Amino acid sequence: MESTPTTFQVKGAEIRKLRMQAGLSTAEMARRALISPRYLNHLENGYRTRMRPGPYQRLRQAFGLPADSTQLLTLPEDPPEKR
């Protein structure tokens, strides 16, 4: 049985890219994901790299990504992002 991770390591640059492709402001995307604009900004800029399951799932859903999508996640073979 698979357990839900306690946090998800996310790619801020990918979050920003998808938000901009959707034509949404930081405030609008944050509103849709039920997170604060400041938190979203910190994720996009790499000041925060981990998300708890609830906010991560809401952000993924706000982008319209399926539950099994790893598009926002930093996978073990991904190099770390530079600030």
- The verdict on residue 69 lying in a domain is no
Stated pTM of the model = 0.85
How many CA atoms within 13 Å lie on the side-chain side of 36? 4
- Predicted confidence (pLDDT) per residue in 15-72, tens digit: 999 999 999 999 999 999 999 999 999 999 999 999 999 999 999 999 999 999 999 9
Q: Evaluate whether residue 82 is within a structural domain.
A: no
pLDDT value, residue 79: 57
CATH number at residue 33: 1.10.260.40
Q: What per-residue confidence (pLDDT) applies to 75?
A: 81
Question: Could you tell me how far CA 46 lies from the centroid of its own chain?
Answer: 11
In this structure, what DSSP letter does residue 34 have?
A: T
Say how far residue 28 (Cα) sits from the centre of its chain.
14
pLDDT confidence of residue 2: 64
Q: 80 or 32: which carries more pLDDT confidence? A: 32
* 68 falls within a domain: no
